[in-house]
Amino acid sequence: MLSSFATATSSSSSSSPYESSPAWWKFNFITTSCATLATSFLPSTAPLAQNTSLSGTSSAVVENRTNHIDRYYQSFSNGFNHDNDDSLRILLFAESFPSFTSGITRRFKEIIRRLAKRKHYIHVITGCKNASLWLEGHDYLQEYVTFSILPSTDFTNKIDCACPFLFPNTAIYFSIRRFSPNVIHIVEQTPAAMLCGAFAKSLNIPIVWSSHTNIDFYLSTYIRSYAVKMTRSIYQYIRLKHLIYSSINLTVSQDFADYMEHTGIPRPVLVWKTGVDSELFNPRRRSSVMRYRMFGTLNNFTHEQMDSITLFLCVGRISPEKNFEFLSLILDRIPSETFLCIIGDGPYRHTLEPLFPTDRVYFFGYLGGEELANAYASADYFIYASVSETFGQVYLEAMASGTPVIAAEGGQLKEFFINSEHGYLWEPENIESAERAVRLAMKNRDHLSVQTRQQALKHSWDSAADQLNNVYYDAIKKNGKHSEPNSLIVLFRIFYYGFHWLVCILLALFLMAPFVKVSSPLPAATQNTSFTRKKQQIHSTKNCFHLDDT
């Protein structure tokens, strides 16, 4: 949402062929309104890009799904029974999808594979122009998965965020009417996602809405400090106005579910469990070749030295909210026989790199698939300073690889992590606590490695897909028997819910967008003054200890 509002107010030149000028908002609102009114009376019957013909699921099928959704699920079993293999038509609205890389996209790749194997037909509306390439080489996916690819922008030079954004567009309505889904799954609360929710509500189609990102936390990074409190209240109001449309609301950790309920989201917000591919992420993938690559080409270490130096790994999108700067403070506190490899990329990288010593840190860039799995397994420890995660897929990937975790303490870790059993946690922003956690972990890696792997094996994508499969059926059941509303009712609902959407967008445009920081990341020569001062204090403390020892 923040990214889209930044674009609407930014006057800088377009950096992408998919990026629109501010005038787009006025034009798109007019065309959206007119085209939607027309299509409400004359629904399109044009075929989708791929064959998605399927007989509708009867209400009897839905009535057979009597499983209870348990929000407090157990880690060892999913608590659901599966006795019905009838197909559903599922429309997934997700602005981020492969080739964009994030924990959210990895989750949906795994889930869609498993839903397709259940012979559910899935239509994805996304802003990732290469999304359909993901189907290549998978015959069963090509049969059951189709796409609507709509205009988007990556915001590389607009804001410290590289997430694609899907513009509000009449094609959303066309896709819904053509595909005729049994249920719509909407991801996050961007303007386009909320418009999709308004269309789904107008057509009386059950909605499952999943929230994966802690935007409330991100506001302190991307909004000017004096306006954070106001914009947070406005965002929470906008989120509430749309999530009440849902038959079922999901998120990925109990900690964030509790927070959402505290802000007014109807109870219960269900916890959608996360899995990990324990075959891909596996200790057996430990590789000397990959380990040597993780030290980079600028360091002249011998193989013997690289084998003996403790290698820390950090994986993630390089952006301000991930708190990478704190890792440089930790490096100043721990022995010199340690090295940090950072895997990932983002617009903040050029600002971040000068903060780290080149002889102890290597920015690897992007890795994926088997190479990423090899990197996890080849490191000695996984270290992560972010406190903004709602779950953090990287933790489980490291644990499945047998790599102990050292991280800032966060509520999301309560789902699967036990301090001193699977690694060590530090108190956020407390450098002494972080140093203590690192030193404790370095004393018993072998024990931690075994425990982390065993814990990760309790979390599977099959279980997560099973749970979502039941959530879809329960959402349909909760929504009641679906009947096609007549044109006048659809028209009234579009006006009603469209008006609510428009009010929320105007609130965001006038009371949030003006306070968004839309400048590009600071140049390397410009560094945060308070951060520099903190590093100087650490060096002064170290020098004092050295003099005392002498």
**pLDDT given at position 482:** 64
Low-confidence winner among 29-38, 293-302, 309-318, 358-367 (lowest mean pLDDT): 29-38
Rounded to whole angstroms, the Cα distance separating 401 from 301 reads 25
In this prediction, residues 273-295 reach a mean pLDDT of: 94
**pLDDT given at position 350:** 86
Rounded to whole angstroms, the Cα distance separating 550 from 544 reads 10
In this prediction, residues 446-467 reach a mean pLDDT of: 94
Low-confidence winner among 38-42, 141-145, 458-462, 471-475 (lowest mean pLDDT): 38-42
pLDDT (tens digit per residue) in 223-272: 999 999 999 999 999 999 999 999 999 999 999 999 999 999 999 999 99
Options 3.30.70.420, 3.40.50.2000, 3.10.330.10, 3.10.20.30; CATH for 87-275+469-513 is: 3.40.50.2000
Alpha carbon of residue 455 to chain centroid: 22
In this prediction, residues 13-35 reach a mean pLDDT of: 38
Residue type, 546: H
Largest CA distance in the chain: 87
Q: Residues of the chain with pLDDT > 90: what percent?
A: 55
Q: Residues of the chain with pLDDT > 70: what percent?
A: 76
pLDDT bucket at 19, cuts 50 / 70 / 90: very low
How far, CA to CA in Å, does 90 sit from each of 134, 147, 169, 252? 18, 12, 20, 20
pLDDT (tens digit per residue) in 370-402: 999 999 999 999 999 988 887 888 999 999 999
Residues 6+ apart with CB under 8 A from 525: 354
pLDDT bucket at 37, cuts 50 / 70 / 90: very low
Domain with CATH 3.40.50.2000 in the chain: 87-275+469-513, 283-459
**pLDDT given at position 80:** 35
Low-confidence winner among 102-111, 178-187, 458-467 (lowest mean pLDDT): 102-111
pLDDT (tens digit per residue) in 515-527: 988 554 444 334 4
Residues 6+ apart with CB under 8 A from 68: none
- What b/e readout covers 505-530, taking b as 16+ CB neighbours within 10 angstroms? bebbbeebbebbebebbeeeeeeeee
The CATH fold assigned to 283-459 is Rossmann fold (3.40.50)
pLDDT (tens digit per residue) in 332-341: 999 878 999 9
- pLDDT for residue 106 is more than 60: yes
In this prediction, residues 14-23 reach a mean pLDDT of: 33
The two structure tokens encoding residue 144: 């059951």
Q: Which helix (H) or strand (E) holds 446?
A: helix 445-456
Who has greater pLDDT, 97 or 535?
Answer: 97
**pLDDT given at position 55:** 39
pLDDT bucket at 13, cuts 50 / 70 / 90: very low
- pLDDT for residue 153 is more than 90: no
Mean pLDDT of the chain: 80
Residues 6+ apart with CB under 8 A from 268: 71, 257, 261
Who has greater pLDDT, 339 or 349?
Answer: 339
Who has greater pLDDT, 72 or 454?
Answer: 454
Low-confidence winner among 272-281, 459-468, 485-494 (lowest mean pLDDT): 485-494
Question: Could you give the count of Cα atoms lying within 13 Å of 105 in the half-sphere of its Cβ?
Answer: 17
**pLDDT given at position 388:** 81
In this prediction, residues 52-63 reach a mean pLDDT of: 39
